């Protein structure tokens, strides 16, 4: 499974994941209460730039992550310019771009395994409400296996339909694949139960 | 979307098994529940990977929320919501499972975070309506209830959470936020109808999955 993690040995890579997430939360809070001003905009854009440089990430990697958002930002900034003054509109946009980029820096510099471990630790206190962190970890592993299995099902069903030689609409494989997926879920459930993972 | 276009699922792989002799007790095991939750999270991810419905030009309807609607409609409120939560958890941890291969903590800091979070509630509400309650009862999915759930309730829930959060993050007024969202309405209507059609076909083909 592809992950967004970019391997590295920088200070940012080596920092414990929990502290990175914590720092992100603090900065996000600070940015959202900071008043609309040129200084806020500069600080908001300097922060992710500094982290990207420290982590020795390629700027293009991180910018690619907000490519989809850029269209939205453009539309939103235009709408804001109608209703708000330019400084407020620019500060709003800078705040969001900054927080999104910083959050993405955490993701880009932390391996999935370390994130899962951190998440399990965060979920620990929820034990008293019936959440079992180790089962969450198991479920996450199952999802990744199932994604691979689904692509196998799609290929199987499409082959089967093609071999029948009838012209079918392009979405005709969706329901058969879902039925196979639900069957597969029951099989996995049986297998887990047989191994005492109920 | 008529019945003609849909073809039956291939025969189950292991034919020797009777469908009723699966679990020793009538109720499903917690292992089965866990597996269903995980597999449906994978289905939601898969819906994000297939190309959307083209609406002419570069605009396409992304199908990921179709997976969310189906999770609620098939698995019911609790398992459906759990499945969506698990999916979002994996996205937050850094797997690029959102449509367009997006993922990571960044998407939860952006203006559309309200829509993402609303998916949990959406699956819950859709499940509640299709299954007729929190726990399994002898309520069967019917066309009117399924359509009401996936087209009306699903959309209302997503917008009710997503729009105010977007307005708050972007500093927009309620009206401006609504206008920005209007562009999604046609696509969401299509997805709602598709979800109802698929749900009713799954109910016919594999009713077991609907039972806890």
Of all residues in chain B, the one with the smallest CA distance to A153 is B10
Answer whether B142 touches A (CB < 8 Å).
no
- Judge if A51 and A117 occupy the same domain: yes
CATH number at residue B161: 1.10.1760.20
- Judge if A76 and A152 occupy the same domain: no
Total length of chain A: 198
Q: What is the pLDDT of residue B28?
A: 58
Whether residue A148 lies inside any domain: the answer is yes
User: pLDDT by residue for chain B (212 residues), tens digit each?
Assistant: 344 444 444 444 443 333 433 443 344 578 999 999 999 999 999 998 887 776 655 556 789 999 999 999 999 999 999 999 999 999 998 888 988 778 888 888 888 899 999 999 999 999 999 998 877 666 788 999 999 999 999 999 999 999 999 888 877 787 888 887 888 898 899 999 999 999 999 999 999 998 87
| b/e per residue B105-134 (b: at least 16 CB within 10 A) | bbbbbbbbbbbbbbbbbbbbbbbbbbbbee
Whether residue A121 lies inside any domain: the answer is yes
Closest CA to B46 of A173, A110, A6: A173
Confidence band of A198 (pLDDT split at 50, 70, 90): low
Whether residue B9 lies inside any domain: the answer is no
- Mean predicted confidence (pLDDT) in A111-118: 85
Whether residue B120 lies inside any domain: the answer is yes
Whether residue A2 lies inside any domain: the answer is no
Q: What is the pLDDT of residue B174?
A: 78
Task: At A163, list the tokens.
Answer: 């071999």
Query: B30-49 and A174-194 helices cross at what angle (nearest 10)?
Result: 150
Answer whether A8 touches B (CB < 8 Å).
no
Is the separation of the CB atoms in B153 and B126 below 8 Å?
yes
Q: What is the pLDDT of residue B15?
A: 38
> Which of B57, B105, B212 to probe by mutation at the A interface, max A CB count within 10 Å?
B105
Q: What is the predicted ipTM?
A: 0.83
Whether residue A6 lies inside any domain: the answer is no
Query: A38-54 and A86-109 helices cross at what angle (nearest 10)?
Result: 20
Confidence band of A67 (pLDDT split at 50, 70, 90): confident
- Other beta carbons within 10 Å of A135: 14
The domain tally of chain B equals: 1
Is the separation of the CB atoms in A190 and B32 below 8 Å?
yes
Distances from the Cα of A19 to the Cα of A14, A16, A22, B146, angstroms: 11, 6, 5, 45
Whether residue A1 lies inside any domain: the answer is no
| A-B Cβ pairs (cutoff 8 Å, strict) | 209
Q: What range defines the domain where residue A117 resides?
A: 11-125
Residue B126 distance to chain A (closest CA, Å): 18
> What part of A 120-179 touches B (C-beta under 8 Å)?
135-136, 138-140, 142-144, 146-147, 149-151, 154, 156-157, 160-161, 168-169, 172, 174-176, 178-179
- Judge if A72 and A167 occupy the same domain: no
Q: What is the pLDDT of residue B23?
A: 41
CA torsion sign, B178 to B181 to B186 to B187? negative
Q: What is the pLDDT of residue B57?
A: 53
Q: What is the pLDDT of residue B4?
A: 41
Give kind and range of the element (H or E) at residue B162.
Answer: helix B154-170
Task: At A8, list the tokens.
Answer: 């590295």
Give the C-alpha separation, B83 to B39, whole Å. 8
Three-class DSSP labels, B29-54: CHHHHHHHHHHHHHHHHHHHHCCCEE
Whether residue A3 lies inside any domain: the answer is no
> What part of B 183-202 touches A (C-beta under 8 Å)?
198, 201-202
Residue A171: pLDDT above 90?
no
Closest CA to B153 of B131, B125, B172: B125
Query: Which carries the bigger pLDDT value, residue A109 or residue A4?
Result: A109
Residue A196: which region, alpha, beta or left (left: phi > 0; alpha: psi -120 to 50)?
left
Give kind and range of the element (H or E) at residue B61.
Answer: strand B60-61
Whether residue A93 lies inside any domain: the answer is yes
- Judge if A92 and A159 occupy the same domain: no
- Judge if A115 and A173 occupy the same domain: no
Q: What is the pLDDT of residue B59?
A: 58
């Amino acid at each position: 499974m592809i992950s967004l993690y970019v391997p590295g040995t920088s200070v940012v890579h080596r920092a414990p994941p929990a502290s990175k997430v914590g720092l992100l939360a603090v900065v996000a809070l600070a940015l959202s209460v900071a008043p609309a001003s040129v200084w806020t905009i500069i600080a908001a854009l300097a922060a992710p730039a500094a982290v990207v440089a420290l982590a020795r990430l390629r700027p293009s990697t991180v910018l690619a992550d907000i490519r989809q958002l850029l269209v939205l930002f453009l539309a939103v900034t235009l709408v804001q310019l109608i209703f708000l003054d330019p400084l407020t509109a620019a500060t709003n946009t800078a705040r969001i771009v900054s927080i999104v980029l910083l959050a993405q820096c955490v993701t880009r510099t932390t391996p999935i395994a370390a994130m899962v471990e951190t998440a399990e630790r965060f979920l620990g206190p929820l034990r008293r409400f019936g959440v079992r962190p180790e089962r969450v970890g198991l479920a996450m592993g199952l999802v990744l296996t199932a994604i691979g299995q689904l692509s196998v099902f799609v290929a199987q069903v499409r082959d089967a339909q093609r071999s029948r030689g009838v012209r079918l609409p392009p979405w005709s494989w969706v329901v058969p694949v879902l039925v196979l997926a639900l069957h597969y879920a029951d099989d996995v459930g049986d297998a887990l139960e047989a191994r005492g993972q109920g | 979307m008529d019945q003609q276009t849909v073809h039956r699922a291939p025969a189950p792989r292991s034919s020797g098994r009777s469908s009723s002799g699966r679990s020793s007790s009538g109720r499903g095991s917690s292992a089965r529940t866990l597996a269903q939750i995980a597999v449906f999270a994978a289905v939601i991810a898969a819906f994000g990977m297939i190309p959307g419905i083209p609406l002419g030009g570069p605009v396409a309807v992304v199908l990921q929320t179709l997976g969310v609607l189906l999770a609620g409609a098939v698995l019911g409120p609790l398992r459906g919501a759990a499945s969506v939560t698990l999916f979002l958890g994996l996205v937050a941890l850094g797997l690029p499972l959102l449509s367009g291969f997006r993922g990571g903590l960044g998407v939860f800091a952006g203006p559309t975070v309200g829509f993402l979070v609303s998916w949990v509630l959406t699956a819950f509400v859709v499940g509640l309506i299709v299954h007729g309650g929190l726990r399994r009862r002898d309520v069967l999915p019917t066309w009117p209830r399924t359509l009401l759930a996936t087209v009306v309730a699903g959309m209302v829930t997503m917008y009710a959470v997503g729009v105010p959060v977007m307005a708050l993050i972007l500093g927009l007024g309620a009206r401006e936020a609504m206008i920005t969202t209007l562009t999604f309405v046609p696509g969401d209507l299509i997805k709602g109808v598709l979800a109802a059609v698929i749900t009713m076909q799954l109910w016919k083909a594999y009713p077991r999955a609907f039972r806890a």
